[in-house]
Amino acid sequence: MSTPDRLIEATRELLWERGYVGTSPKAIQQHAGAGQGSMYHHFSGKPDLALAAIRRTAEEMREMTGRLFDAPGSAYERIAGYLLRERDVLRGCPVGRLTMDPEVIESEELRAPVDETIAWLRGRLAAIVQEGLDRGEFTPGLVPGDIAATIVATVQGGYVLARASRTTDAFDAGVRGLLALLAPRTATA
């Protein structure tokens, strides 16, 4: 792995673990096994390196999630695939956690990939819900954008509750509850 890639990967890991404020250039260098000169040769400073790391994390999340959304199956099955996918719940979302970091939120540049990723996620989910409505899978009258926002809020809120309680129980319960509410309509006899 090249030095810039090692620096980006180290920054990604530290941002997820410690947040922007808790990630120092020295910690990045140590984690990457790179010297100060190497870091500043490839990046203008911590904000530049953090932006590269945030962008890579956001791109990776969109790629992985996009594969789940593009998988065969009903709208419900694809949403369930996203909600039930394997994830490190107690670590939280590597993108969503950045919204709790005041320096990321205050920086339009650092916040942009976070905003774009969340907007992309909501848009893709809304489109899948609309497909489900068009196919008669879901209860008529559901508002796709509202359901998409609910799905994202359930996942992100579930991460917060899981981290606070140090157990995945609240996350799992939120996912089960949401899936029960979205369960496809069944014909009544």
Tokens of residue 59, six digits: 């791109």
pLDDT tier at 186, thresholds 50, 70, 90: low
Task: Name the CATH superfamily housing domain 57-182.
Answer: Tetracycline Repressor, domain 2 (1.10.357.10)
- Quickly tell me which residue has 């040769």 as its tokens: 41
Query: pLDDT tens digit string along 78-104?
Result: 999 999 999 999 999 999 989 989 999
Tokens of residue 31, six digits: 């984690």
Give yes or no for residue 188 having a pLDDT over 90. Answer: no
Q: Using the 8-state DSSP alphabet, how is residue 89 labeled? A: G
* Per-residue pLDDT at 131: 97
Query: pLDDT tens digit string along 98-134?
Result: 998 999 999 999 999 999 999 999 999 999 999 999 9
Q: Do 133 and 43 contact (CB within 8 A), yes or no?
A: no
Q: What global pTM score does this model have?
A: 0.90
* Per-residue pLDDT at 63: 97
Tokens of residue 9, six digits: 């990967």
Q: How far is CA 170 from CA 41, 100, 140, 163, in A?
A: 45, 20, 29, 9
Q: Which of 71, 79, 70, 185 lies closest to 137 in space, CA to CA? A: 185
Tally the C-alpha atoms within 13 A of residue 82's C-alpha that lie toward its C-beta. 32
**AA letter at 172:** D
Q: Do 90 and 10 contact (CB within 8 A), yes or no?
A: no
* Per-residue pLDDT at 189: 41
Any residues with CB less than 8 A from the CB of 20 and at least 6 apart, and which? 50, 98, 101, 103, 104, 110
Give yes or no for residue 42 having a pLDDT over 80. Answer: yes
Percentage of the chain lying above the pLDDT 70 cut: 97
- Quickly tell me which residue has 């039930």 as its tokens: 84
Query: pLDDT tens digit string along 3-39?
Result: 999 999 999 999 999 989 999 999 999 999 998 888 9
Q: Per-residue b/e over 127-160, b at no fewer than 16 CB within 10 Å? A: ebbbebbeeebbeeebebeebbebbbebbbebbb
